[in-house]
Amino acid sequence: MARHAQFRVDPRLTSLLGETYRSTEHALKELIDNAWDADAERVWITLPEPMTNDPISVRDDGTGMTEREVRNEYLNIANDRRTRKGERTLGMKRAVKGRKGIGKFAGLVAAEIMTLETRARGHATMLRIVKRQLLDAQRDLEKVDLPMESNSCSRDEHGTTVTLSSLNTHLTLPQPEALRELLALEYGRERDFEIFVNEERLAHEDIPGRKFSATIQLPTAGTVTINFTIMDRPASKRQAGIVMRVGGKVVGRPSLMGLEEDRELPNRLLRHVVGEVVADSLEEDVTADWGAIIENSKAYQEAREWIRDQISHQVRQKFHSDVKEQISRRERAIEQRLAHLPEHRREIARRQLHRVLQKFYGESEERVDTVVNLMLDAMEKDEYWLVCEHIHQARSGDVEVLAEALEQFGLVDLAVISQQARRRLEFLDHLDALDTNPKTLEKEMHTALDMNLWVFGPQYSVMASNQTLARTIQQYTQKQVSGSRRKMRPDLFLAQDALNRYLLIEFKRPNDAVGRDAEAQAKKYRDDLTPNFGHIAVIIIGGTVDATMSAQYTESDLQFLSYKAVISRARHALEWLLNELAIDK
């Protein structure tokens, strides 16, 4: 029977429909989440072949819906399902994933038309939604007539099929590999929820990263098999870890088997670990609700120790390899700085840099560079070497004395870095005051920043003012600029790093806006200097950046910056570092 239906709109709808998805694969995942909430055991996803007009289909064998449920619940959008039906699904007691009641329409990101066919308790219902009608209706969604058909069917039939047709031509088609990767992380370890993408079953192996597998016969726990992946990217806190599977069922939540208490392994790295352990012989030790395994079970403790060793071994290898790679990428710049230290101090400095890189494992390259350069600055401070001397003297003495000396080094390590960071924050306060003073000229900003290029970012910290190059600039400007224009010549600075890369900075007054005119000036100087020095990056800095410029035409090796933006970015990096150090104390 053909009829019409309307949306039942929650007042929060306007803001919620503004949410977007990073990709069509993420949008499709919302439809799979709906199947999970419907207690489906299987989901079949069919993606179209390239260069065809075929639709996308998502079919599940869940509980389905009657016509009444489609009208009163499915079309009651922006209404949290959990407030009506609870936090768990009715049949399988799964944790409900639907949050805001609009994920069911995620398919409209990829298609113009979404058709819903659902069967439940003798009722077969079909609903058709056209995106253009929703967009035209705007705030009056409840007035849109949605074509609906309802017929009878066998009471044994249940499940829902969502068909997406007239696919969005402005977006690329969902890629099977990308969709499998996304879904594997969420559902790859489930045994009562099977997903098929183009008829291929999803498995834990679809999770990207380095994979490991091992099986052992333990005296008490029996046969135990572990399969886990160290992912390229960290998983969410909820997804990271190893699940225990007993008799085909998942017991409890993912766990890291106590490795999170190991102070030598950063939690950021452990979040890369996902996997499962099969230990069917532990069934007698599972709690009645299958929420956990009894912790003082001897078999479980035996298995847990072996599992922890397997994960720990592989994670430590990756940890040391990654830290070594971090040092290798910075080796030339670090060695150039260490060359200024007395020879007997260099090896201690190298070891301590290694330690700091371990501490800040997993942070962004920019943040790591901030820490490394502060550490190198701190290496030159006398208080470090007083403690190092204490360590040297303790080596041949009591072990306890040596341990105390090493602890003292760590405290000084943090204290010196903190002190250096705070001093730099004070410098930024003074630089900010100089910037806001209307009388400040470009040469005064040049003087303040000449030996403090770290302000521009960690990548410039190791650069130094090269006096020979400075004289070259001076000679060039005197020869090439004459008359009244000579008084207007830009205040230039040329810096050089350990890899012989050059940076040309043009300083403007703090109350000047920098734009295309300043760019043309700087490029002229760069073009004349390039034959002598090779590639030169350019920073043009002033009070503001001309807002009328299009970023589309800006070169990758040319930056326009304001003093305020530079100061703010540097201050944020230092405050982050101080906060990190405070947390660990």
CATH number at residue 21: 3.30.565.10
The string of pLDDT tens digits covering residues 178-233 is 898 888 877 887 778 999 999 998 877 778 888 899 999 999 999 999 999 998 88
**Mean pLDDT for the chain?**
78
CA angle (476, 478, 481) in 5-degree steps: 95
High-pLDDT (> 70) share of the chain, %: 77
* Average pLDDT of the residues in 370-379: 74
The string of pLDDT tens digits covering residues 508-540 is 888 888 888 888 888 887 887 787 778 888 888
252 and 184: one domain? no
Whether 221 is in a domain gets the answer yes
What are the structure tokens assigned to 198, written together? Answer: 């183009």
Whether 485 is in a domain gets the answer yes
The string of pLDDT tens digits covering residues 112-135 is 999 999 999 999 999 998 888 877
Q: With bands split at pLDDT 50, 70 and 90, how would you rate the model's confidence at 86?
A: low
Q: How many CA atoms lie within 13 A of 76 on its CB side?
A: 11
Amino acid at 285: D
Whether 310 is in a domain gets the answer yes
What is the predicted pLDDT for the residue at 39? 93
What is the predicted pLDDT for the residue at 66? 93
Could you tell me if 6 and 142 are in contact, meaning their C-beta atoms sit under 8 angstroms apart? yes
Residue ending a domain, choose from 382, 407, 430: 430
pLDDT at 245 exceeding the cut of 50? yes
Whether 58 is in a domain gets the answer yes
257 and 368: one domain? no
Q: What domain count does the chain have?
A: 4
pLDDT at 481 exceeding the cut of 50? no
Q: With bands split at pLDDT 50, 70 and 90, how would you rate the model's confidence at 464?
A: low
Q: With bands split at pLDDT 50, 70 and 90, how would you rate the model's confidence at 472?
A: low
Whether 581 is in a domain gets the answer no
179 and 211: one domain? no
What is the predicted pLDDT for the residue at 192? 83
Residue ending a domain, choose from 173, 200, 227: 200
8 and 56: one domain? yes
Domain containing 257 — which CATH number?
A: 3.30.230
Whether 507 is in a domain gets the answer yes
CA distance 10 to 14: 9
19 and 48: one domain? yes
Q: Which residue has the higher pLDDT, 159 or 386?
A: 159
CA angle (463, 468, 471) in 5-degree steps: 115
Q: Give me the domain span that covers residue 316.
A: 207-320
What is the predicted pLDDT for the residue at 158? 95
b (16+ CB within 10 A) / e for 405-423: beeebeebbbebbbebbee
* Average pLDDT of the residues in 486-494: 52
115 and 152: one domain? yes
455 and 386: one domain? no
304 and 358: one domain? no
Q: Which residue has the higher pLDDT, 548 or 293?
A: 293
- What Å distances lie between residue 261 and 75, 257, 391, 502, 582, CA to CA? 47, 9, 28, 45, 19
Sheet holding 222-230, edge to edge: 210-218, 222-230, 273-278, 241-246, 249-255
Whether 579 is in a domain gets the answer no
Question: Has this prediction a pTM greater than 0.75?
Answer: no
What is the predicted pLDDT for the residue at 216? 94
CA distance 557 to 545: 17
What are the structure tokens assigned to 472, written together? Answer: 């070259």
Residue ending a domain, choose from 200, 223, 251: 200
What are the structure tokens assigned to 386, written together? Answer: 């007083």
The string of pLDDT tens digits covering residues 319-368 is 888 888 877 877 777 787 788 777 767 777 777 777 777 777 777 777 77
4: β partners: 147
294 and 373: one domain? no
What are the structure tokens assigned to 259, written together? Answer: 């490795």
CA distance 124 to 158: 9
Whether 225 is in a domain gets the answer yes
301 and 350: one domain? no
User: 365-379 and 563-584 helices cross at what angle (nearest 10)?
Assistant: 80
308 and 351: one domain? no
374 and 449: one domain? no
Q: Going along 49-136, which residue ranges are E strands?
A: 56-60, 76-77, 111-120, 123-130
Domain containing 519 — which CATH number?
A: 3.40.1350
CA distance 535 to 556: 13
pLDDT at 149 exceeding the cut of 50? yes
What are the structure tokens assigned to 76, written together? Answer: 């009651």
